[in-house]
Each structure stands twice: as structure tokens, then as C-alpha cells.
Structure 1
Amino acid sequence: MNKKTLLIVAVSILVIAFIGITYLLLAEKQTNRELVQEFQLEKEDLESEYTQFAQQYDELKMTVSNDSLATLLDREQMKTQRLLEELRTVKSSNATEIRRLKQELATLRKIMIGYINQIDSLNRLTVQQKQVIAEVTQKYNDASRQINNLSEEKKGLNKKVTLAAQLDATNIWIDPRNKRDKKAKKVKDVVKFAIGFTIVKNITAETGERTLYIRITKPDNDVLTKNAGNTFSYENRTLGYSIKKYIEYKGEEMPITLFWNVEEFLYAGTYRVDIFADGILIGSQQFTLE
């Protein structure tokens, strides 16, 4: 086989390989496009279900004469509307959040079935039984209202004291840096994050050692962490953290700078830094990597 023939064979192989790779890339792009369309349709269907579900509460309340039950229905309807607003802000590609909101809808359905059964039971009662229930309900509502008023007053006072005594982080900044410790312009050059903020002066806050938890969240809401066991409690759930920092707080303004060494794959998008202390979110800041 002469050199000319070998050259033709080599070129042919390269052309076939190029066509094959191009086909695979186009197929993958088409698959991704179809997945995005599926997620979008699923989100639209879920929004429609939530909207219909919220409207069903209006129809159900028209059949209720029991004030206590009507209040509970109002509460569930408001929860449904709140979840609907959450769904509308979720990106179509965020499968985790859409799955969670789908599960929430299933739970709401079970609750509504329970209310429908209660309403049916009440509607089957005699007039005398309804009157007795109305009197008992009124007394219960009066007692509950008094207890709730006292409880709300106490909560209000406790909340004011808690808000006044909690720490607050301001002037939050995030500086992505390259291996020369200069500000990185591109995401591929980032080797660490410098994070700074100020704990403001607060003479009502308790002094002493405090623990700060810093969460760095990627655009897909995954938190950057060195260990899956790095967690803390927040609003009756467990969250992962990126950085844990002990400070000695003396009630005065306190500047803090922290560093995160990047050992994970980063990609362009909007990242977020959240700062927690004493089980409270005390500051947040977003930043974008290109």
C-alpha cells in the first residue's frame, strides 16, 4: 500500500470519526432539550394543580358554617397559595424542588380529604346536635382566643427581645482569587474565596464565645463542604456548612475575614453565601462567576 493510499485511508477515518462525534453531540443536545421541555411541562402541570387546589378551598368553605373549621380551611388555603408562589419562582430544571412541592401537594390532598369527611359528618348531624356543637365551639373559640391573645403577646415580647439581642452581619463581600492571590476574572482560575463581613455592634447581645456557620451555595443549590458530616441545626432541620468559625464577641463591631480553598469543580453562575449564628440567618450575599 503506497503513501497516497495510506493518506486517503487516514483522511477517511478522520472524516468518519468527525461525523460520528458530531452526531453524538447533536443527539446529546437534543436529549437535553427534550429533558428541559419535560421539566417545563411538569412544572406547568403542577402549577395548574396547585391553582385548582386553592380554588377548591373556596368551594369547600361555602359549605362550612363552623368558624373553627373555616379558620383551618383558610390556613390550609394560604399554605397552598404560598407553595404555589414558591413553585412559580423555581426554575424548571430544579427537579429536587419540583419533587418536594409535588410531595407537599400530595400531603395537602390528604388533609383536604380529612376536612371533607369532617364537613360531611357535620352536615349529617341533627339540628339539636349542631346547636350543641355550636355552643361548645363558641366556648372553645372564646377560650382559645383568650389563650391565643396571651400567647401572641408573649410571643411578641419574646420576639422583640430575641431580635434585639441577635447578631447581625453586614458589609458582606466575596472575592474569588487565583493562584497568585489576585482577583480571578474567570471561574476556571478560582482557587479560593476570600469572604469578609462585619458583625455589628449590639450592646443587648450576649457576650462570649459564639459559633458562626458559613454556607457557600452553588447555582444548583448544592453547598460546598469538605465533609458530609459538617452540619448544624436551623429551623428544625439540619443544614450542611462550608466554614465553621468561633469568635469571642464583646458587643462591639467586629470585622471578620475567612477563606475557602476550592477543591471542587466550579462553573459559571450565581453563587450565594449565607451566615448563621445561634440558629439564625444573620446575613446573605450573592456573587456571580463567569
Structure 2
Amino acid sequence: MKKQWIALIVAIVAIFVALVAWLFYNLEEQKIVNKEMAELAELDKQEMENEYERFTLQYSEMMTQINNDSLVAQLTQEQMRTQQLLEELKNVKATNAREITRLKKELATVREVLRSYIRQVDSLNQVNETLRNENSQIRNELAASNREIEGLATEKASLSEKVAIAAQLDATGITMTPLNKRNKAAKKMKDCKQIQVSFTIAKNVTASNGNRTLYVRIQTPNGDVLNGGVFDYENRQIEYSMKKTIEYGGEETTVTTYWNVNEFLGAGEYRVSIFADGNMIGSRTFTFK
């Protein structure tokens, strides 16, 4: 009796340790994703700051190219407004989505205004070689700013890709069962009247919730696809056998689909592939007699 109690306590402790390890793993995974998203927001803010600074430099450059006092006064006013917006942006936290969105809209307006002045200055055609030499320092600073923006854009794209990969669904436990006319597992493919494909969409705390359309593709031993229609995949259309729309809420979800056989199916290897959101999320090969 004492040994039974000891065994029970050991089992309970093992289950508790496994549960703690699982919770710790999920917590660490969420921390990594949150950190990457925070870094992405900070990069977006830094990219905006550099673009505001670049526009300020461009106003300085244009003012050295003209001798029209009225136009210089207008450019000075717009430059001051751009600098003011830059200071506002520097004092805003990257996580303040409302202010970042407002300043991003302001940035688009500044960009359009700057373009209109560039067209005006170009139409005056008063730039000479002396002024170009005087502007060399500003041009160098502008080039450095552009290089920094390009570097930030590359880093931002890399982080965006990591976040997208983390949010991708994953199909596990894929099974393919040939059913006979009594809806029982058929021993041979020649007796198959219906194919059942089941799988599980794994839990994913980073994936967005909502309706997801899943495509199941069955390839026969001779390479043909049991065709139920076509869908877009990697800039082309490919055949699928079954599709099903589910409500995904981030938790583990079991999915079952069926294919009604209306043709002869021979023995050999059958490949089942699962697709969602333009990605192949799972694949497995089965051999039947």
C-alpha cells in the first residue's frame, strides 16, 4: 500500500513538473514575439525620424539654390514646421499607436508639400556650380541619412518576416483513411469509396483569429491530384481535393475532411498536403495496398 502511495505521488509530481515546463515554454515564446514586435515598432519610428530629418536637409539645400526672398520665406516656414513635427515624434513612445499614426499622416503631407516646392525650384533653373559646391556637405549628410534609412528598412523587413513566420499555422497529426461502402477502414484501395483526411491545427498565440480556409491536396501514386478545384499558391493556381473553412481562435483545432471516390484508385504512395494563408502548413505520405 505504501509503494502505491509513493508511485501516485511520483506521478503527480511528474505531471506538475511537465505542466510548469509547458507553461514556461509558452511564456518564453510569447516574450520573444512581443520583443520582436516592440523592436519592429521602434524601427518604424526611427525610420520616420530619419525621413523627417532628410526633408529638413532638403529644405536647406533648396534654399541655397534660389535667390527669391518670397520663396525662401515659404521654404523656411515649411522647414520649421517639419522640425517641429520631428521634435514631436522624438518625444513620442514607439508604442503610442495613435500619435505614431497621426505623425505618419503628417509625414505624408510634408512629403507632398516638399515635392511641390522641389518642382517650383526646378522650374526656376537657377542652380550653378558654385552653389553646388557650397551644398556638398548637406548632400553628404543627405546621402548618409538615405543609407541609414535603407539599413533600417532592411532590418524592419527582416523583423516583419520573423513575425509573419511565427504567426503561420501548423498542421500536425495528419491521417488519411480509405473507407469502404460500410464506412469502415478499407484494407485495399480498390475497395475505397470515400477518403477521410484528418489533422490538427496546432495552438499558436501569435496567429490572428478569425475564419481560415484550409485546402487539402491528395496526390495519387501516378502524380495526379484528386481534383476538387483550384486555389492560388506562390503566384500560380494549383489543384486541391477538399477545402474547409474553420473559425480559428489560436487554440488547438481538429479538422476532418472527406473525398467521395468516383474513380479507380490503385495501390501505392499517396501524398497529403495541407495549405492555409498561401502557405503549405503540413504534408505526409501514406502507402496503401
TM-score where L is the length of structure 1: 0.47
TM-score where L is the length of structure 2: 0.47
